[in-house]
Amino acid sequence: MRPDFETTPKLGFGCMRLPLLDPNDQKSIDIEQFKQMVDAFIDGGGTYFDTAFVYHEGTSETALRQALVERYPREAYTVATKCLAWAAPDEATAKSNLATSLERMGLDYVDFYLLHNVGGERTAKFDAYGMWDFALRKKEEGLIKNVGFSMHDGPDALEALLTAHPQMDFVQLQVNYLDWDDPVVQARRCMEIAEAHGVPVVIMEPARGGRLVELPERVADVLRAASPESSLASWAYRFCMNQPNVLTVLSGMSNIEQVRENVADFQANRPFSAAEQEALDAAIETLRGMASVPCTNCRYCVKECPQGVVIPEILSLLNLELMTENRPFVKGLYSWQAAPGPASKCIACGACESMCPQGIDIVRELEVAAEHFE
């Protein structure tokens, strides 16, 4: 039976960017603050927690056990985790991820299990390793309640995958108001395909990696004029929460303040009025008129870079330059934010581009950054 998107709370807790005690150590999760975040989320009506085998170098799942599983009854929450078979060296390793994840989280079963970031060349590994049948078999054994997959690919790939694997219970897609009618992402078309197959959608990147929370003032002013009391984040989440066929909308929250704000927006959620929709349309038109690099900070590129170039940080600074139109200001930020791996270290090997879900011409963008900021 596929999950009920009518009763699942429309705000999900993404455990990809948890608070750290040491910003240079992804494993140094601030457990005490994370516990406060979990408490605020559950008190606010949330139940869906999303993690992955690789988040925080494997410690996100362990932290979730400490902050959630050991402190709440099993019926109080649902957990999603993921397997990146394309990153595993062999079939046995890929299939062992589930048992490891369950052990890390202290769970007898996982509510939602995703074959993570399929699409393009990555799908071949899932096929070769037999991951589709493996996940369904583990569902029959009771270790998984719902099997699905996530992808950053386009509608043709989604149609092919759902046709080839009709047993999928859900799918996780990148959806936000900027990508809705984007000719590359085609989020609207992807949503339509999922609904046609009767498969509910978990939405990721509703704020486009934070981009839709840090809007240029000329864009933000349009939204604020239409609804002065609404946060910029609420526009992004309301757009997604009120789409049909949505199971939940993930927010990658990094501190207690973000949890409280997102919970408040979730509790106050309502469809856009006609005036609000008109304002959002105007804001989108303005944003599309501004050149930008569509990086969502997934950080797959960093793992593949042999030179240690801090690619997401550099792409973010390129966007900041476009939005602020203030190169000296951004150059000052670049001097320290890109210090661990400046753009000029790029050797144009292309490893980053082969792993980029957004299809960004990273090598060229790094050349631009080196020219602008170094």
In 3D space, the residue among 132, 24, 153 whose CA is nearest the CA of residue 83 turns out to be 132
Which pLDDT belongs to residue 311?
A: 95
Q: What is the pTM of this model?
A: 0.81
Domain 3-280 has CATH 3.20.20.100: yes
Structural domain boundaries in the chain: 3-280, 300-373
Rounded to whole angstroms, the Cα distance separating 332 from 151 reads 36
pLDDT tens string, the chain, 374 residues long: the values are: 567 667 899 999 999 999 999 999 999 999 999 999 999 999 999 999 999 999 999 999 999 999 999 999 999 999 999 999 988 999 999 999 999 999 999 999 999 999 999 987 789 999 999 999 999 999 999 999 999 999 987 899 999 999 999 999 999 999 999 889 877 678 999 999 999 999 999 999 899 877 788 888 889 999 999 999 999 999 999 999 999 999 999 999 999 999 999 999 999 999 999 999 999 999 998 877 776 788 887 889 998 899 999 999 899 889 878 866 779 878 988 998 898 899 999 999 999 999 998 899 999 999 999 999 99
Which pLDDT belongs to residue 120?
A: 74
Q: What is the CA radius of gyration of the chain?
A: 20
Which pLDDT belongs to residue 184?
A: 64
Residues 242 and 210 sit within 8 Å (Cβ to Cβ): no
Determine phi and psi for 123, rounding to 5 degrees: -60, -35
Percent of the chain with pLDDT over 90: 78
Which pLDDT belongs to residue 198?
A: 96
Which pLDDT belongs to residue 17?
A: 93
pLDDT digits (tens, 9 = 90+) for 97-120: 999 999 999 999 999 999 999 987
